[in-house]
Chains A and B, each alone.
Chain A
Amino acid sequence: MNDVSLYDVDNPAPVIEPPRKRTKKTPKSTRTNFELYGWLFMRLSGVVLVVLVLGHLLIQLVLDGGVSKIGFAFVAGRWASPFWQGWDLCMLWLAMLHGANGLRTVINDYAQRDTTRFWLKMLLYTATVFTVLLGTLVIFTFDPNIA
C-alpha cells in the first residue's frame, strides 16, 4: 500500500450505493415485519441450539467411547425415552429453520439475477420441507423391532 491515490477529479473512485438504499422500485411499505422476526428467531433459536446441539455432540461423539458405540441399538435405547425424542424433534426443527433462514440470507446476498435467486430459494425451501417432514416422521414412527 502507498499513499498515492489511484483516483483524482478526472478519474473518480467508483461510487458504492449505500446498502438498502430506497429506489423508485422500492415499495412504499414493506407491509410486514418478517425480516425483524427472522432476525429475532436466529438469536432465540441460536441460544437454544447451543444447548441442544452441544449436548447432542457430547453424547454422540465424546462420552462413552465416542462414535464407536453408535448403531441401531444405541438409537433404539435413546428413542425409548420421550425426553430424547422431544430433544431430537426440537433440535431438528430449530436447526433446519435456523439453517434455512441463514442460507436464504446467503442466497439473497450473492445470487444477483432475479431468476437465479428465485430458483435457488425454491430449491432450498423444497429441500428444507422434505427434510423436516422426513425427520419428524422417522422420530414419531421409529420401531425398535423393525427387523
Chain B
Amino acid sequence: MPAGTLYRGREGMWSWVAHRVTGVLIFFFLFVHVLDTALVRVSPEAYDDVVATYKTPIVNVLEYGLVAAILFHALNGLRVIAVDFWSKGPKYQKQMLWTVVGVWVVLMAGAFYPVLQHTLRTLFGS
C-alpha cells in the first residue's frame, strides 16, 4: 500500500469515487443539454438539427452511457442517504452497495433495447 494516504479502498472508497466521477460527467452534460434545448427559442429547424446529432449511432451509445451514469448516481445517492440517516446504514453499507450494483445491472439490461432501438433499427433494419 502506498505510504501517506487516507484512502482505504474497497466498497466504501470506490463507490465514493464512482459517485464523484458520474456526478461531474452528468453536470457537464447538463450544461450542454440546457444549451441545446435553448435552441427551441431560435427556430424549429435549429433545434431539430441539433437533435439529429442525438440520433446518430455514436451519440445514441453515449446516451446509454449517460443513463448508466445517472442510474448509478441515483441509486448510490439513495444509499448515501440511508448511510447518513438510517441507524443501521453504516453497518450495511457494503450490502447496500452490492444491492445498488444488482439493481443497476437489471435496469441497464432493461434499458438496452429501448434506449438503443433508434440505432438498432437504422443499422440493422426495422
Contacts and interface: CB of A to CB of B under 8 A. Distances in A.
Interface of A: 1, 6-7, 13-14, 16, 19, 43, 46-47, 49-50, 53-54, 57, 61-63, 65-68, 70-73, 75, 92, 95-96, 99-100, 102-103, 106, 127, 131, 134-135, 137-138, 141-143, 146-147
Nearest to A54: B74
Contacts of B44: 71-73, 146-147
Counting chain A CB atoms within 10 Å of each CB, which of B26, B27, B41, B118 scores highest?
Answer: B27
Interface in B1-39: 1, 3-6, 20, 23-24, 26-27, 30-31, 34-35, 37-38
Contacts of B77: 46, 50
Given A57-B67, A135-B38, A67 B118 contact: yes
B95 interface: no
B: interface residue count bin? 35 or more
From DSSP, what is the main secondary structure of chain A's interface residues?
helix
B4 A13 contact: yes
B103 interface: no
B60 A72 contact: no
B114 interface: yes
